[in-house]
Amino acid sequence: MKSELKAWVYLAPALFFLVMFTYYPMLQVLWDSFFFKAYGQESAQFVWFDNYKRLFADPAFSQAVRNNLIYALGTVFPSLAVGFFLALALMKSTKFRNFARAVFFFPTLVPLIAAAALWIFVYFPNVGLLDYYLGKLGFGPTQWLGDSNIALYSLMLLAIWKNAGFYMLFYISGLQGIGEEYYEAAELEGATWFQRLRYITLPLLGPTTAFVFIIALIHVFTYVDHVVMMTHGGPIGSTNLVLYYIFQNAHEFNDAAKATASTVVSVGVLLAISFLSIRTMERGIHYES
């Protein structure tokens, strides 16, 4: 009992801040999502699930969800793949590889709003770096952020550039935790490099991949600075993500009821995906160094 009491005493400050600044606001948003207050009205009216009905009937929300799904597929898996292969190349420590790790990790340190400002100059038509070098190859200028068909993919490229180095560090840590005896035994059996990758490295990195996958999903649902800075959800809503949709309803359209309802839905989906990923991580293959 004394040891358990000591543990709770140590945990109390963190639990206090979690309750006050995480769980209480979540419950408050959930409660507020059942109320509607018209502009200029003094008191809010309890409307049950009407806010959710209005939310799911809103074409802009459906478009934001589709955009977020495409954005997630186009950033999470490529970012994890790039981070994994960078980790394979830079796993063993040498002076050059340590320098390369710092180079690839540097975009993670750049604030997203600053990275967005930097990439505006990369994507700027005619005079931007991308159009400049593509022009040397004979390609004409492209509206990277002004064309509704490619604007979202331009944001994806920025997200991959920024996050891959961060995921690389987790994979390097996971790779360094796999014992050499597994690879030595596989080599004695005549396994090729690809077979060792498929049957040893990838399965033993299962817990690491599940954890990094959760982090990547959180980034997908919580990163909005580049949308605000670069596209404002346009053109024609092609880059309007769910978080920017919430921002618009709360601060531009003065529809706090719809904003709270969409927040509850997005947080619920994120919690469900995170829970399933953690369960997968717990059932995955674990190893000891």
pLDDT digits (tens, 9 = 90+) for 34-73: 988 776 667 778 888 999 999 999 999 999 999 999 999 9
* pLDDT(289) > 50: no
- 219-241 burial: b if 16+ Cβ within 10 Å, else e: bbbebbbbbebbbebeeebbbbb
Is 48 within the bounds of a domain?
no
- Asked whether the beta carbons of 182 and 195 are under 8 A apart, the reply is no
Residue 276 vs residue 64, higher pLDDT: 64
pLDDT digits (tens, 9 = 90+) for 71-121: 999 999 999 999 999 999 998 888 888 999 999 999 999 999 999 999 999
Q: If pLDDT is split at 50, 70 and 90, which confidence band does 222 have?
A: confident
Q: If pLDDT is split at 50, 70 and 90, which confidence band does 283 have?
A: low
Number of domains in the chain: 1
Is 272 within the bounds of a domain?
yes
Which whole-number Å values give the CA distances from 23 to 16, 52, 182, 243, 250, in the listed order?
A: 10, 21, 44, 19, 20
Is 240 within the bounds of a domain?
yes
For residue 286, the model assigns a pLDDT of 52
Q: State whether the Cα torsion 13-17-22-26 is positive or negative.
A: positive
Assign residue 83 a region: left if phi > 0, alpha if psi is -120 to 50, beta otherwise? Answer: alpha
* pLDDT(123) > 90: yes
CA 37 vs. chain centroid, Å, equals 32
For residue 92, the 8-state DSSP code is S
SS3 142: coil
Is 11 within the bounds of a domain?
no
Is 128 within the bounds of a domain?
yes
- Asked whether the beta carbons of 170 and 178 are under 8 A apart, the reply is no
Q: What is the pTM of this model?
A: 0.85
Measured CA to CA, the distance from residue 198 to residue 204 in angstroms comes to 10
| Residue 202 tokens, joined | 């990838």
- 18-40 burial: b if 16+ Cβ within 10 Å, else e: eeeeeeeeeeeeeebbbbbbeee
- Asked whether the beta carbons of 34 and 46 are under 8 A apart, the reply is yes
Is 4 within the bounds of a domain?
no
| Residue 19 tokens, joined | 């309750």
pLDDT digits (tens, 9 = 90+) for 185-202: 988 888 888 899 988 899
Range of the domain at 59: 53-283
Is 97 within the bounds of a domain?
yes
Is 289 within the bounds of a domain?
no
Measured CA to CA, the distance from residue 287 to residue 273 in angstroms comes to 24
Q: Three-state SS string across 45-63, please?
A: EECCCHHHHHHHCCHHHHH
Measured CA to CA, the distance from residue 168 to residue 86 in angstroms comes to 6
pLDDT digits (tens, 9 = 90+) for 155-172: 999 999 999 999 999 999
Measured CA to CA, the distance from residue 224 to residue 217 in angstroms comes to 13
* pLDDT(288) > 60: no
For residue 240, the 8-state DSSP code is -
Measured CA to CA, the distance from residue 35 to residue 52 in angstroms comes to 11
- Residue 225, domain CATH: 1.10.3720.10
- Asked whether the beta carbons of 178 and 200 are under 8 A apart, the reply is yes
SS3 43: coil
